[in-house]
Amino acid sequence: MNRRYAYESWAPVKSSARSPMVFRAMGCIVAVGVLLAVAGCATPVGVRYLSSGETTRRLTASVLSGDSISAPTTQILNRSGLAGRLRDEPEHVIADLHAGLPTARETDRLFALAELSFLHASKSGDRSYFLSAAIYAYAFLFPRKTVVPPNAFDPRFRLAADLYNQSLAKGFASEDMQKVMLKAGTYKVPFGELVVSMDPDETKWGDFRFMDFVDASELEVRGLRNWYRWPGIGAPLVASLERLPGVKEAAFAKVPPAIKVAATVFLRIRNVEEGLRTGRVAARLELSTVEKSTSTTVREQEVPLEFGLSSALAYTLEGSQVYRIELKGLFSGDFRFFADASRFRDNIFLMEPYRPGRIPLVLVHGTASSPARWAQMLNEIINDRELWGHYQIWLFTYSTGNPILYSGGLLAEGLRNTVKELDPEGKDPAMGKMVVIGHSQGGLLAKLTVMDSGTRFWDDMTSLSIDQLDVSPETKELARRSLFFKPLPFVRRVVFIATPHRGSFIAGGWIGRLTGRLISLPGKLLAAISEGLTRDLKTASEISLKHIPRSTDNMDPKSSFIRIISSIPIPPGVTTHSIIAVKNPDDPKEKWTDGVVDYSSAHIDGAASELIVRSGHSTQDEPQTIEEVRRILLENLKGPRYGE
């Protein structure tokens, strides 16, 4: 009966006989059917395929890549039931996590606290949370012995190091966030206080004191092909210099005050676990530079320090006047690149203090140029971990319009004086493996450091002997320095880059002649020649002020200077290398040129190596040129030291 009733109740009837109840029942049935169909397609738990972009974003999501937190921190929030409160009550969530989470591992909780504190500090501007983020990250990275530290495959490890580094810089930032203020004191943190100590001598750097620290990670480097970062622990900084009165250290004698220095600050926390528990964290600020130390020891573990050498180099050149004075250096023979003439009388400066055991690498720029044009090569060399610690870079600058023999004399004398000043007792064997690299005219100057000219240059000027000159000792000394060259015993390798050994067709053309007319000679040179002409009639009959050549005259392929210097061989014991730029190596060899110097002029016989680079004349910037220099420098490390 019931069964029949049920059946009959669903039996078809005429439309006119349907009641409202029947329509409602049919609607419910349809709705239930739809729900069942949907449920059949999407179960409460399941998966869906992600696009490659979504996959990458989820794997790398963190507060450092955006406003989202990483998966491990999300997991801690979900496990603790705090995820729903994060947006509206971030400080309460952080405080609750700080109080403890019994079901979570300590390292998991500490990492979540570091990331959440950094996120809240970034959004609220409350720098105390940056400091607490650094403390939590430190505790995560360097746990006590009884806790298993994170391994290298844990993505949180590098993220925690970056959180520590950035939090440190931002936590000690000035009010406008433009500078990093390193000073002792008691700082407020959300769970208590951070008591920081710092030795005032930490900021002392030889003759200088560091000042105006900036966060290297926030400096966008432009103009350099590569932006290098030495990954490690510590906030990478760039510091300006302030000279200390009355302090003179020989190792810093050739360091100009205008350079910026890469430094790293590390906050060493004493017993971080106890500090987090009691609310009073004690720590010490430590400052390092690459020549001081590239690593530190934390809880018996050696860890690398982070540095931003590319940032320091680019910051040094940012707004530098050196680019604007290159033409002045060409046209004015008396131009001085350094205001402190006594300190840099030899026109040689170092980008870092002298350290025994490191081979001098001397870079000599070309015409209408400056040391700044070595920036690309400098950036690669100072960041090369195979070369780092083996070389010290010396830069020579000069007025490039002056006679090449005059500039070459300054270079040779400057190198002798600098070697004697930095190593007066001759105890540093690395000095004897000096490498000199010259670009264009700089290559000719480099060649003068290793050749024995005898009296050839002097004889080309006059038939008198130098002893017959009736001039002052100063004038006679200038003549000896500029016209008589002996190989410098400590220069063992020379690299010629686009060097006009047989002259430049540009210098020999109308451009060179016009430029030569605009170049003024140094007063010291003119005074010396005038003295000789005034006091010695025999000399006056053979030498005229009108015929004193400029550098452009010297590089004329027809000049007597080119004829003489190209005929003097490189002595045994000196290794030479040629890097020659050719605009189109597909052309016949007799047409090879870089637009300023022909291949036939740049090529020399007897070079240990010769590399052709597809490039214009300014090839010192080219990657292939820089890589060849790197190869040569590595090769130089294999040879015997001076005196062996």
Q: What is the pLDDT of residues 251-266, one digit of tens each?
A: 999 999 999 999 999 9
Rounded Cα–Cα distance for residues 559 and 133 (Å): 69
User: What confidence score (pLDDT) does residue 643 get?
Assistant: 43
**Which residue, 349, 333, 458, is CA-closest to 395?**
349
User: What confidence score (pLDDT) does residue 54 get?
Assistant: 82
Are 315 and 233 spatial neighbours (Cβ–Cβ below 8 Å)?
no
Q: Count of alpha carbons within 13 Å of 479, Cβ hemisphere only?
A: 24
**Which residue, 272, 116, 264, 266, is CA-closest to 194?**
272
**What average pLDDT does this structure show over 349-374?**
94
User: What confidence score (pLDDT) does residue 333 get?
Assistant: 65
**Residue carrying the six token digits 């061989």:** 569
Tell me the average pLDDT of the chain.
88
Are 232 and 303 spatial neighbours (Cβ–Cβ below 8 Å)?
yes
Which residues, at least 6 apart from 21, have a Cβ–Cβ distance to it below 8 Å? Answer: none
Q: In terms of pLDDT, which residue wins out, 239 or 480?
A: 239
Residue 461 has pLDDT above 60, yes or no: yes
Are 441 and 367 spatial neighbours (Cβ–Cβ below 8 Å)?
yes
Q: What is the DSSP string of 398-461?
A: --TTS-HHHHHHHHHHHHHHHHHHH-TT---GGGGGEEEEEETHHHHHHHHTS---TTHHHHHH
pLDDT confidence band for 343 (50 / 70 / 90): confident
**Which residue, 516, 590, 577, 515, is CA-closest to 546?**
516
Q: What is the pLDDT of residues 405-431, one digit of tens each?
A: 999 999 999 999 999 999 999 999 999
363 backbone dihedrals φ, ψ, rounded to 5° = -110, 125
In residues, how long is the chain? 644
User: What confidence score (pLDDT) does residue 13 get?
Assistant: 40
Crossing angle of helices 623-636 and 375-382, rounded to 10° = 50
pLDDT confidence band for 152 (50 / 70 / 90): confident
User: What confidence score (pLDDT) does residue 27 get?
Assistant: 60
Residue 464 has pLDDT above 80, yes or no: no
User: What confidence score (pLDDT) does residue 640 get?
Assistant: 58
Residue 35 has pLDDT above 60, yes or no: no
pLDDT confidence band for 34 (50 / 70 / 90): low
User: What confidence score (pLDDT) does residue 41 get?
Assistant: 61
Rounded Cα–Cα distance for residues 464 and 542 (Å): 9
**Residue carrying the six token digits 């109740």:** 9
**What average pLDDT does this structure show over 469-478?**
82
User: What confidence score (pLDDT) does residue 8 get?
Assistant: 35
**What average pLDDT does this structure show over 533-543?**
56
Rounded Cα–Cα distance for residues 233 and 15 (Å): 82
**What average pLDDT does this structure show over 503-532?**
77
Q: In terms of pLDDT, which residue wins out, 319 or 631?
A: 631
Work out the angle at residue 127's Cα, subtended by the Cα atoms of residues 121 and 128, and round it to the nearest 5 degrees: 100
**What average pLDDT does this structure show over 433-460?**
95
> Which ranges constitute the DSSP H helices of 265-331?
272-278, 309-317, 326-331
Residue 441 has pLDDT above 60, yes or no: yes
User: What confidence score (pLDDT) does residue 30 get?
Assistant: 56
238 three-state secondary structure: strand
Residue 64 has pLDDT above 60, yes or no: yes
Q: What is the pLDDT of residues 557-606, one digit of tens each?
A: 999 999 999 999 999 999 999 999 999 999 999 999 999 999 999 999 99
Enter the tokens of residue 186. 């008691």
Ordered by where they begin, the domains of the chain are 60-312 (no CATH), 320-465+483-519+550-636 (3.40.50.1820)
Residue 470 has pLDDT above 80, yes or no: no
Q: Count of alpha carbons within 13 Å of 336, Cβ hemisphere only?
A: 11
363 three-state secondary structure: strand
- What residue type is 507 in one-letter code? A
Q: What is the pLDDT of residues 232-243, one digit of tens each?
A: 999 999 999 999
User: What confidence score (pLDDT) does residue 9 get?
Assistant: 33
Q: What is the pLDDT of residues 93-140, one digit of tens each?
A: 999 999 988 778 899 999 999 999 999 999 999 999 999 999 999 999
Crossing angle of helices 90-99 and 71-80, rounded to 10° = 80
Work out the angle at residue 440's Cα, subtended by the Cα atoms of residues 434 and 444, and round it to the nearest 5 degrees: 55
Percent of the chain with pLDDT over 90: 67
pLDDT confidence band for 515 (50 / 70 / 90): confident
**Which residue, 168, 249, 265, is CA-closest to 205?**
249
Are 625 and 595 spatial neighbours (Cβ–Cβ below 8 Å)?
no
Rounded Cα–Cα distance for residues 384 and 185 (Å): 38
493 three-state secondary structure: strand
Q: In terms of pLDDT, which residue wins out, 527 or 594?
A: 594
Q: In terms of pLDDT, which residue wins out, 35 or 322?
A: 322
Residue 644 has pLDDT above 60, yes or no: no
User: What confidence score (pLDDT) does residue 19 get?
Assistant: 55
**Which residue, 587, 639, 577, 638, is CA-closest to 610?**
577
Phi/psi zone of residue 298: left (φ > 0), alpha (ψ -120 to 50 degrees), beta?
beta
